[in-house]
Amino acid sequence: VDGQDQLVVVSNDGVHGLDPGTGQALWGPVPLEKQYGAHISTPVWSPQDQLLFFSAAYDGGSKALKLTRTGQTTKVTELWFSSKMRVHFGNVLRIGPLYVGSSGDLGPSFLTALDARTGVVVWQDRSFAKANLVFADGKVILVDEDGTLGLLTVAPEKVTVLAKATVTSATAWTAPSLVGTSGGDSVRGRPRGRKPSAETPKPRA
């Protein structure tokens, strides 16, 4: 934040900012309405505009905070709150002017994009179940909990599904990993409850 390293911690009572060297509290907690004390999703820090985004499911929602420093004091300003994105176990991506994530808990799930400045929903898509996302080469790669792998492009106007395929029948809650090889890229993930393989994938020729 304005040149100062800070450690952001999500706890039962909200979000805190700590000095990573000493553990001293710099700000917080900033609460977020939720049930069951369930803050699971990792916050997203955007250094280009110093916005911190975090979200929770189970009657929760999402908040964007503006962080600035004056001397040794960090000022935290809540820009907006939205109940339209409630992220359960997944992650959220900041892509240009958008926050993109999978919103939903026990009911239907929507791939949702919010305007980072206002929190307004700009689009929603029901092509996938709850999912984890990675961003590479201008595209979003996701694996949803039903085992569907998807390749997407996102823009403020719309989301475009370029390809999708079922890659596992087990419940998939693990975020995918993108691994470069000599013949292209491989996307790997591990279904929930399955032990990692002892085999090392060989690069494609």
Per DSSP (E only), the strands in the chain are 7-11, 14-18, 25-30, 44-46, 51-56, 61-70, 73-82, 87-95, 98-103, 110-115, 121-125, 131-136, 139-144, 148-154, 159-166, 177-181, 184-188
> Is 55 within a domain?
yes
**What CATH number is attached to the domain comprising 17?**
2.130.10.10
pLDDT per position as a tens digit, 175-197:
888 887 655 555 555 545 544 44
> Is 45 within a domain?
yes
pLDDT the model gives residue 174: 82
At 205, is the pLDDT very low, low, confident or very high (cuts 50, 70, 90)? very low
> Is 51 within a domain?
yes
> Is 165 within a domain?
yes
> Is 171 within a domain?
yes
> Is 90 within a domain?
yes
Domain that holds residue 55: 7-188
Q: What is the mean pLDDT of the chain?
A: 87
Into how many domains does the chain fold?
1
> Is 199 within a domain?
no
